[in-house]
């Protein structure tokens, strides 16, 4: 009898071990990488939790790095067979990632190009090469004018500016200086190191009657009267009107977060982090119109792609994860947590979202936004940072600095497209 019972116990243990082994064999872990931005990390944690609940056999390990280190980490890990199975990248990096064999095309059966063309905002089609998509976004971005409600109330300003002229006059009322003449509160932030290089390229140059680029962004075109007018307007905020200072508190967004700036131009992705700042009362308005009433905006997006490291069961799991994080529900979560706009009009242009006092100005801005096609976004941003610095620090003539910038950026574009 004892022997019989012992055999049953052993058989039961063997069966349990077999079940555990089977479960373990079915479990798959994939890695997801993105750069560190607090609200984006929070949103992805929520999406991963939801995905794992729907897919109990798959776990997702998220890793994030500071923005400055991100591209280097990705480019080193994947060729070594390490790192992410699904990776986040800026839309302007697509060609670089393809050329380096870091990502693979999305399977047509799961991501049919015709359906994506129909369901997503048209700007997403830049992710399609030879009829096949390589990456998709959860969200897209545009710019808007953030304003500090407390500072507006103190200055007796009832509403945000609707035109560039009104922007200057409003900034004059908001700016504050100490007894020594040092700026203590900026009327409006400035800094090409943040989002102003986008505001200058795709908004100000257009509002003064030009286009920053031609030939599908292969040819620089801002060394023109319109470009000069746009540069003069931008630098006049410090030099002529004294409502800003380049480098004030190092980063423009830092000044606004600290309540030391009345206005600040930034992307919709800033909403999530601003919501965390206690005591900061802020609002959002569409970007001010140009001298003749012209409206313009800049739109961009980060995308997700399946890396060449993903194979076999990890590849299959990555496809499921990509479908989940580009779903309608995921886009609404991203909007609520981060503030970035849904990549599908069916989600973004609902009455509730389009008329929202915070999201609405960004969503409406998509209707007249332009998406710059970068060859090297960081290098092209540096060109404009140097352009302004030469006029500010070195006192170089604005027209000369503009021409120098155009020559430097054209060299970047020509070398890139020559390859």
| 10 is a domain residue | no
Q: Are residues 255 and 155 in the same domain?
A: yes
Q: If you average pLDDT over residues 257-276, what whole number do you get?
A: 93
Q: Are residues 334 and 219 in the same domain?
A: no
Q: Are residues 285 and 331 in the same domain?
A: no
* CA contacts within 13 A on the Cβ side of 54: 12
| 293 is a domain residue | yes
- What residues are paired with 389 via a beta bridge? none
Measured CA to CA, the distance from residue 376 to residue 402 in angstroms comes to 19
| 156 is a domain residue | yes
| 233 is a domain residue | yes
Measured CA to CA, the distance from residue 143 to residue 141 in angstroms comes to 7
Q: Are residues 292 and 308 in the same domain?
A: no
Measured CA to CA, the distance from residue 402 to residue 171 in angstroms comes to 25
pLDDT of res. 377: 86
Contacts of 21 (CB under 8 A, 6+ apart): none
Q: If you average pLDDT over residues 262-271, what whole number do you get?
A: 94
β-pairing verdict for 282-285 and 28-35:
unpaired
% of the chain at pLDDT higher than 90: 79
Q: Are residues 283 and 311 in the same domain?
A: no
Measured CA to CA, the distance from residue 274 to residue 281 in angstroms comes to 9
Q: Check residues 263 and 377 and name the one with the higher pLDDT.
A: 263
Q: Are residues 190 and 50 in the same domain?
A: no
Q: If you average pLDDT over residues 256-268, what whole number do you get?
A: 96
pTM above 0.85, yes or no: no
Q: Are residues 270 and 381 in the same domain?
A: yes
Lookup: tokens for 232: 């003069």
% of the chain at pLDDT higher than 70: 94
For residue range 355-390, what is the model confidence (pLDDT) as tens digits?
Answer: 899 999 999 998 899 999 888 888 999 999 999 999
Q: If you average pLDDT over residues 199-215, what whole number do you get?
A: 98
Give the pLDDT band of residue 10 (cuts 50, 70, 90): very low
Number of domains the chain contains:
2
pLDDT of res. 350: 87
Give the pLDDT band of residue 113 (cuts 50, 70, 90): very high
Residue bearing tokens 């890793």: 63
| 278 is a domain residue | yes
Do the Cβ atoms of 371 and 201 come closer than 8 Å?
A: no
Q: If you average pLDDT over residues 72-87, what whole number do you get?
A: 95
Residue 63: CB atoms within 10 A of its CB come to 13
- What residues are paired with 213 via a beta bridge? 220
Among residues 329, 354, 369, which one ends one of the domains? 369
Q: Are residues 191 and 235 in the same domain?
A: yes
Structural domain harbouring 359:
28-140+300-369
For residue range 47-61, what is the model confidence (pLDDT) as tens digits?
Answer: 999 999 999 999 999
For residue range 289-324, what is the model confidence (pLDDT) as tens digits?
Answer: 999 999 999 998 999 999 999 999 999 999 999 999
pLDDT of res. 187: 98
| 3 is a domain residue | no
pLDDT of res. 26: 66
Q: Are residues 266 and 157 in the same domain?
A: yes
Q: What is the DSSP letter of 284?
A: E
pLDDT of res. 225: 98
Q: If you average pLDDT over residues 386-398, what whole number do you get?
A: 94
Q: Are residues 305 and 292 in the same domain?
A: no
Residue 151: CB atoms within 10 A of its CB come to 22
| 315 is a domain residue | yes
Q: Are residues 309 and 413 in the same domain?
A: no
Residue bearing tokens 């997403």: 124
* Confidence check: pLDDT of 1 > 80: no
pLDDT of res. 5: 39
| 88 is a domain residue | yes
Give the pLDDT band of residue 133 (cuts 50, 70, 90): very high
* Confidence check: pLDDT of 351 > 80: yes
* Confidence check: pLDDT of 22 > 50: no
* Confidence check: pLDDT of 18 > 70: no
Q: Are residues 250 and 386 in the same domain?
A: yes
CATH of the domain at 323: 3.40.190.10
């Amino acid at each position: 009898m004892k022997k019989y019972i012992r055999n049953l116990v052993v058989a039961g243990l063997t069966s349990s071990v077999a079940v555990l082994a089977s479960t373990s064999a079915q479990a798959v872990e994939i890695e997801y990488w993105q750069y560190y931005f607090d609200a984006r990390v929070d949103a992805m944690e929520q999406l991963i939790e939801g995905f794992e609940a729907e897919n109990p056999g798959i776990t997702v390990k998220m890793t994030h790095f500071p923005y400055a280190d991100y591209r280097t980490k990705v480019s080193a890990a994947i060729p070594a067979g390490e790192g992410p199975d699904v990776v986040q990248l800026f839309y302007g990096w697509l060609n670089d990632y393809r050329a380096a064999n870091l990502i693979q095309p999305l399977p047509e059966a799961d991501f049919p190009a015709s359906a994506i063309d129909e369901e997503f905002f048209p700007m997403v089609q830049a992710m399609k090469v030879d009829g096949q998509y390589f990456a998709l976004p959860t969200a897209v971005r545009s710019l808007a004018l953030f304003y500090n409600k407390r500072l507006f109330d103190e200055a007796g300003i009832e509403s945000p500016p609707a035109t560039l002229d009104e922007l200057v006059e409003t900034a004059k009322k908001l700016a504050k200086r100490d007894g020594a003449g040092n700026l203590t509160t900026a009327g409006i932030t400035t800094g090409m190191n943040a989002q102003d290089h986008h505001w200058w390229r795709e908004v100000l140059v257009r509002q003064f009657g030009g286009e920053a680029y031609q030939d599908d962004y292969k040819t620089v075109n801002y060394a023109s009267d319109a470009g000069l007018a746009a540069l003069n307007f931008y630098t006049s905020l410090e030099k002529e009107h004294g409502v800003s200072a380049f480098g004030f508190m190092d980063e423009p967004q830092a000044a606004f977060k600290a309540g030391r700036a009345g206005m600040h131009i930034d992307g919709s992705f800033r909403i999530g982090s601003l919501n965390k700042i206690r005591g900061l009362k802020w609002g959002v308005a569409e970007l001010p119109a140009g001298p003749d009433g012209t409206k313009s905006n800049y739109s961009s997006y980060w995308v997700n792609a399946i890396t060449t490291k993903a194979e076999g069961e990890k590849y299959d799991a990555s496809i499921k994860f990509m479908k989940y994080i580009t779903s309608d529900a995921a886009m609404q979560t991203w909007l609520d947590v981060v503030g970035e706009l849904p990549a599908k009009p069916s989600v973004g242009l609902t009455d509730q979202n389009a008329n929202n006092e915070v999201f609405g100005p960004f969503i409406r801005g998509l209707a007249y936004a332009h998406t710059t096609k970068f060859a090297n976004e960081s290098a092209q941003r540096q060109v404009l940072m140097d352009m302004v610095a030469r006029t500010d620090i070195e006192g170089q003539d604005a027209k000369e600095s503009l021409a120098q910038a155009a020559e430097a950026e054209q060299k970047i574009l020509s070398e890139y497209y020559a390859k």
